[in-house]
Chains A and B, each alone.
Chain A
Amino acid sequence: MPVLHQRQGVRGVSHIAIACGLSSKLFLNNFIGVLKPLGKRSASCLVMEHTLTSSEALDFFLHYKIGEQKQRTSNRVAISRSIRILETTSRRHGLEPSVLEDLLRVVVKDTFTCQMRHRLVKCLIPTSVVSRNAPVIAVASLCTETLPPTLQVLLVQWLILVFDLVDNKSDFHCLYEMIFYLVQFDNLSPYVCHLLYLLTRRKDVKRFRVQKLLRIMSAQGSNPQLHLQGLLSLYKTYRPEYVSLSVPSDVRRYFPSVNRAWAQLINLIQVKHSVKCGIQRQVAPQGAGVLEKRLSRKRERDLAPVAYSQGLSTGPPARESSSGLHLDDVWELLGSPDDVDMTDGLSSLFGSPFTLCRLSCSMDDVKRMRIDYSVDHVLQHEFWNDVTTPRTLRVQEEFLDGVVRAQDILKECLPGIEHFLSRWLHVWDGETLRLQTLNLLAQVPLCESSELKRKFLRPLSLLMMTSSIHLKCAVLKSLQQLLLNWQTRDLPKLQTQLMSPDNLDDQGGVEARDAVVAVISFVDEISNVVLQQEGYSALLIHVLLSFYQTAGELWPRLLDNIMIMPDCMIYPSFLTYDPSCLNRLCQILCSYRDNIIAAKSDAALQSRHAPGKLSMALHTHNTVVQRMMGCIWKGLAFHGNQGLGCFVDSSLQSTSSFCLYLTCHPALLGFAIGYVDATFGRSENLFKDLERIKGPEIERFLQYLDEQGVASLPLLLQKTIRKSKSSRRPVNPLGSHCDSG
């Protein structure tokens, strides 16, 4: 009774003190004098109670050292006060992750008595999440056997209770083997089994673990070990082939219950916390705790099937979704190529490039069909039923990106994709899923030309007529990629077929080549229209030139089809202001020339060619080069049959023939002036200066062009102009014109 009186008395006094604005310490010092008759001990505890805040109580535990405090009695009192305050605080608000971790470190050290450490463990109530280190500390201490047995049990119980709140369980999961080691201890076994039950993923189920559990079970004798059975039943679910034991299914509860009041307390703090920052969490759920899991469960379904299930009951499952299917890096793949599980949904592997790699090595018809069917199912049905919202669009984008990546790795086009694309292109607006559509287009197999035209090229031509220059360029780029893909993916297969003499007339090979020709002729046809539509934009010319460059590289491999760029493509890129266009044109013409020469000299190739086709290609090439040389070298741009004379009216033919001469060509004029500046310096009359580039200066000017990056034009000149004395010194038409004028 007297104690009660004292307390009430002092409380009342402290209220007064605060009310009066006095320093409470000073006040109490005076007050202790009043209370002296009650004994020193009581007085000091009163002081403690009033000066300690929760953070001070915490500091007390964190920085406590044995022997620091001299008086044992006051020491004990301080501890008991601090723990009381800590208990109240943690029960009211919980502890922050970092604080929790620090306090756990205190618990596992043997600074305090066992009873005190018990109370401290009970204080470990997390406000939000438990840091990833905390379970590591706890498990590490469990393995050292320095903890008293009861405390060990309590710590495991705590781990079970806060399991869902652990932030990032990867570290925790690494300790699986260490926790499993604890199963053999009788007092810990039930709780450790429960913890393992929560922690187990499929890859943890190993034969030796099952054996060990069975051994422990048989050692225990006849009394039923429900917790071991519980863990085994989970193992059996994951790997039925490892556990032949029949597990009773009518068991209501496998594991002993953990202190209910404690569990409720932890839940209560969580609920409070989630109410407090619920909205904040939903915006940025970085703290990967239970909340995030719940949110992610509500996520809209993915189009690609999920590899593992999420449980039948509505309550949130405690385990992380186990995914033995997905490899994180290439080392994991190289380390265990046979461990990659491919029994379940194959198309769920689209997200994992390494697993796809593994799949591509062991592809067979059944696997291919499994992927085909499921991709087809998604594309044909689910894809079209959805009304387009930004969200579904994003899901669709992700799915198609996955398909593009998978096709890239598997090096083949899935039939479902081909079918989908042929339908999709007919209704495509050129905007929705543009990147994905074009990527898919680049992976279409080139098999039959008529099919190709009907399914893909016709809708594309309609689209290109009515779209912006950017879409035109993008479509041309993806057609170029299509040829490249064909070259790297299908051509090697085809060539091995063709090289063996039995398969010379292989239908597939002929069809594929026809399809390539169909693509190139499609671009031939469309280029005229789109160039006119876009006013011969340099961008479009460049994109088209890239396409023809790729097409030109296919030449020697296509064997009996040599296709020269159409006129509508050659002349615009010749009559351009852009030196790089001219340069690339010359480059392509050079490669044409090399290829024709190679084809003519190689008897085997020549015999394969239809004779008319090669000579026709040669004729076309020669005409083009002749006309270009007429303009650039002879300076007879519109003169009779020379140069481009055949394209213009006869009344205009004699005028300005020199305008496309080497030094006056709109694309090269800038270089000529630069050359003049660099060599002789510019005078007042620019014409006279340009006139000076003749004779040996021409060679030097060509060299100058070469240095300036226009390398292919000198190369073409070198290859086509015969090196006789007469042609080495051409008449400088500019000079003659100036002279006559």
Chain B
Amino acid sequence: YFCFLKAMKSLTKKHFHAYRVSPLCMFSYPRLQHYAQMLETFLTAEVKCAGDPTTNSGFHTNISVFPGLATGQRDPEAILIQIFCKQEQKRPAWEGLLCSVEPEPSYLTVCMPFVLLPLLLVHGPKKFTTAWKTWFERTFDCCVSPLVIPSYELAWMAALWAGAMSVPRTLDLQWSSPPPVSDGLHITMSVNRNDALRLWDCVHTSGEEEVGLFKQGLEEHIFHHFHVILDAMILESVSSGVASANNSGHIKVLFHKPLVHILVASSYLLDILIPTKGS
């Protein structure tokens, strides 16, 4: 249990970037050690092939099973990938967590030679992400693409976190103008923890959708004071005492307890579509 707790704690208080991953072809758990070696060789070769033989290219990689995240019945175990630089052995230079936390069933069934680990959380410099992605996509013939969290889902997260906040910290929300309008227009709002809790309790009373009401409550408040209608604005980021999330897929979790719930929520995002075109 302590192991589990320690592992969970290692994921908190880090800025993660979320990606979605398509099913992995021919991925097998007993070969993790082999994969680690392959990745190591690949990274070294990449640095060499980049035409700069002078770079000190010492990498050490570690791929292992991450316990405790396979909460659903059919979830495969999560995988932790770490890249260490030779100069600094203790702290990993890059970390990636591949997991499947109760994903929504898709119309494409995933069966034997394939393993479905649809959510990837990445912490580390971009160049490693690029290199790792290249290797990973090649080795398991899959696609890795950034996860975008739409406004509505962010509002939903804000509402959930407002209710679960146990630390005295404000709930911060930031809106920005949609792309056709010139950039630079941001609206930031900080709600006191107690006020957010009170609003959350209020919306529970009626039978309507709570999240919608919560969002509506916040928007009405802004309209009341500043006469600004927020409907057409994009909710860009939400941060609370529990966790923070960003439009472009940044997630940061502050406590280990709600971690699994947040991962479930993120997994839910993998399957929704945001049609921005057409009618």
For the complex, what is the distance from the CA of A428 to the CA of B57, rounded to whole Å?
50
Chain B residues, Cβ within 8 Å of A253: 53-54
Which listed segment binds A: B40-48, B63-71, B154-162, B206-214? B40-48
Q: Contact between A374 and B142 (Cβ–Cβ < 8 Å)?
A: yes
How far apart are B261's CB and chain A's nearest CB, in angstroms? Answer: 23
Among B43, B179, B276, the most chain A Cβ lie within 10 Å of the Cβ of B276
Let me know if B58 is at the binding interface, CB within 8 A: yes
Q: Is the CB of A378 within 8 A of B45?
A: no
Instruction: Kindly list chain A residues whose C-beta atoms are within 8 Å of the C-beta of B128.
Output: 312
Question: In chain A, what residue has the closest Cβ to B43?
Answer: A312
Q: Which residues of B contact A167 (CB under 8 A)?
A: none
Binds B, one of A145-153, A315-323, A640-648: A315-323
Q: Is A309 a contact of B134 with CB atoms below 8 Å? A: yes
CA gap between A319 and B48 in the complex, in Å: 11
Q: Is the CB of B43 within 8 A of A316?
A: no
CB < 8 Å A-B pair total: 133
Chain B residues whose CB sits within 8 angstroms of the CB of A388 once the complex forms: 276-277
A224 interface residue, CB < 8 Å from B? no
Q: Which B residues are in CB contact (< 8 Å) with A424?
A: 278
CA separation between A198 and B134, bound complex, in Å? 21
Q: Which residues of A contact B205 (CB under 8 A)?
A: none
The distance in angstroms between the C-alpha atoms of A350 and B275, with both chains bound, is 25
Q: Indicate whether A26 reaches chain B with its CB closer than 8 angstroms.
A: no
CA distance A617 to B96 in the complex (A): 66
What sequence of 0s and 1s flags, for each residue 263-279 of chain B, a beta carbon within 8 Å of any chain A beta carbon? 00000001101111111
Q: Are B142 and A237 in touch, CB under 8 angstroms?
A: no
- Which residue from B50, B145, B275, B279 sits with its C-beta under 8 Å from A315? B50
Q: Check A415–B108 contact: CB distance below 8 A.
A: yes
Query: Which chain B residues numbered 18 to 75 have a C-beta less than 8 Å away from chain A?
Result: 20, 22-23, 25, 41-58
Query: Which A residues lie within 8 Å of B56 (CB)?
Result: 252
Which residue from B54, B113, B134, B143 sits with its C-beta under 8 Å from A374? B143
Residues A319 and B145 in contact in the complex (CB < 8 Å), given A313-B55, A428-B278: no
Pairwise interchain contact B275-A384, C-beta atoms closer than 8 A: yes
Residues of A within 8 A of B53 (CB): 230, 251-255
Residue numbers in A under 8 Å from B172 (CB-CB): none
Residue from A374, A382, A427 within 8 A of B141 (CB atoms): A374
Q: Give complex CA distance A253, B53 in Å.
A: 5
Are the CB atoms of B279 and A429 closer together than 8 Å?
yes
Fill in one digit per residue for B136-149: 1 if any A CB lies within 8 Å of its CB, else 0.
01100111010010
Which B85-113 residues have C-beta < 8 A from chain A? 107-108, 113
Partner of B57 from A234, A237, A249, A429 at Cβ < 8 Å: A249
Find out whether the CB atom of A317 lies under 8 angstroms from the CB atom of B20. Answer: no
| B-binding segment of A5-13, A365-373, A592-600 | A365-373
Contact between chains at B143 and A344 (CB < 8 Å): no
| Chain B residues within 8 Å of A416, by CB | 108
Q: Could you say which of B48, B114, B130 contacts A237, with CB atoms under 8 Å apart?
A: B48
A240 to B139 Cα, complex, angstroms: 14
Q: Residue of B at shortest CB range from A424?
A: B278
A387 interfacial by beta-carbon distance below 8 Å: yes
Shortest B254–chain A CB gap in Å is 28
Summarize B's interface: helix, strand, loop or mixed. Answer: loop
Interface check B224, CB cutoff 8 A: no
Min distance, Cβ B141 to any Cβ of chain A, angstroms = 5
Asked whether A317 lies within 8 Å of B179 as measured between CB atoms, the reply is no
With both chains docked as a complex, state the minimum distance between the C-beta of B96 and any C-beta of chain A, in angstroms.
15
Check if B127 is an interface residue, CB within 8 A of chain A.
yes
* Chain A, range 301-342, C-beta contacts under 8 Å to B: 305, 309-319
Whether the pair A423, B273 counts as a contact (CB closer than 8 A) is yes
Measured between beta carbons, the chain B residues less than 8 angstroms from A50 are none
State the Cβ distance, B75 to closest chain A Cβ, in Å.
18
- Contact across chains for B277 and A432 when beta carbons are under 8 A apart: yes
Residues of B within 8 A of A374 (CB): 22, 141-143
Known contacts A366-B25, A376-B22, A250 near B276 by CB under 8 Å: no
Interface flag for B131 (CB, 8 Å)? yes
Which one of B43, B49, B57, B276 contacts A319 once the chains associate, using CB atoms below 8 Å?
A: B49
B152 to chain A, nearest CB (A): 14
Give the distance in Å from the alpha carbon of A373 to the alpha carbon of B55 in the complex. 37
**Interface pair A237/B41, CB less than 8 Å apart:** yes
Flag if B58 contacts A385 (CB, 8 Å).
no
CB atoms of A312 and B130 under 8 A apart = yes
A381 to B18, CA, bound (A): 14
- Chain A residues 339 to 371 lying within 8 A of chain B, measured CB to CB, are 344-346, 366, 369-370
CB proximity of B23 to chain A, nearest CB, Å: 5
With a 10 A CB-CB cut-off, give which of A230, A309, A345 has the most chain B CB atoms: A309
Report yes or no: A427 in contact with B275, Cβ–Cβ below 8 A: yes
| A-to-B contact residues, CB < 8 Å | 198, 230, 233-234, 237, 240, 249-255, 305, 309-319, 344-346, 366, 369-370, 372-374, 376-378, 380-382, 384-388, 415-416, 419, 423-424, 427-429, 432
Query: What are 12 inter-chain pairs, A to B, with CB distance below 8 A?
Result: A233-B45, A234-B48, A249-B44, A311-B50, A312-B128, A344-B138, A369-B114, A372-B108, A373-B114, A381-B270, A384-B273, A387-B179
- Given contact pairs A237-B42, A240-B41, A377-B143, enumerate 19 new A-B contacts (beta carbons under 8 Å): A234-B48, A249-B44, A249-B58, A312-B46, A312-B47, A314-B127, A317-B51, A344-B138, A366-B113, A370-B25, A373-B142, A374-B142, A377-B142, A378-B143, A381-B20, A381-B270, A386-B276, A423-B273, A432-B277
9 closest pairs, A vs B, by CB? A427-B278, A313-B50, A309-B134, A237-B45, A312-B46, A377-B22, A311-B50, A377-B143, A318-B51
